[in-house]
Chains A and B, each alone.
Chain A
Amino acid sequence: KAGVTQTPRYLIKTRGQQVTLSCSPISGHRSVSWYQQTPGQGLQFLFEYFSETQRNKGNFPGRFSGRQFSNSRSEMNVSTLELGDSALYLCASSPPGQGAFAGELFFGEGSRLTVL
């Protein structure tokens, strides 16, 4: 069974640019979450999508956005990049039927973004 796939794995951008990251969840998983990991702030929740709808959102500025497609694949976008956006962006999917805040998430290996 294929795991969560994130692309690209590594990318370098400059300040002011925008970036789109992609996540393909495990087959059958309809919930997709995104987390940002930085050395200073650690792992922080960005948002969660379920059936193409944003179900929850963390405390990030509006420059961070996402969407989910009918096949459960998800993308996140960061506009007007800042140096502080350099991070590992992790996508996770969860199987159906877990219920609220059950939390068994299956993570991808992440997309490492460097902003110069």
Chain B
Amino acid sequence: AQKVTQAQTEISVVEKEDVTLDCVYETRDTTYYLFWYKQPPSGELVFLIRRNSFDEQNEISGRYSWNFQKSTSSFNFTITASQVVDSAVYFCALSEAFGQAGTALIFGKGTTLSVSS
């Protein structure tokens, strides 16, 4: 069965600290996508990044970086020099193949990040 686990329920940091959000996934598919979404208090989920199972190149985008390791089925997300505006719930997700087409995401339970000034 496909599953996404975010072991960290809540993380609290002080501004400018670096923080890493962990994500471990399970899938039998050889082709799949992994995602990170952010949910601010307003409610809408905001897409951050997508990685396919054949692309293990890690990426840095501004203060965000992602570490994808198939050997350990992990897709971790790091925020460097955190800011108060980074406070939100962060979700890791895995795409579920539905045969021909379409997208359904399996989400982890989310990690609530609180950044204080």
Question: Known: A101-B32, A101-B33, A101-B95. Is A106-B104 also a contact (CB below 8 A)?
Answer: no
A-B CB pair tally, cutoff 8 Å:
86
Question: Known: A42-B108, A103-B50. Is A98-B44 also a contact (CB below 8 A)?
Answer: no
Inter-subunit contact A90/B101 (CB<8 Å) = no
Question: Known: A48-B102, A94-B103. Is A101-B97 also a contact (CB below 8 A)?
Answer: yes
Complex alpha-carbon distance, A33 and B110, angstroms = 20
Question: Given the complex, which residues of B lie within 8 Å of A3, measured CB to CB?
Answer: 44
Q: Which of B35, B101, B109 contacts A103 (CB 8 A)?
A: B35
Nearest B residue to A100 via CB reads: B101
A residues apposed to B, CB below 8 Å? 3-4, 31, 33, 35, 42-45, 48, 50, 55-56, 58, 88, 90, 92, 94, 98-110, 112
B residues apposed to A, CB below 8 Å? 32-33, 35, 37, 42-47, 50, 91, 93, 95-98, 100-110
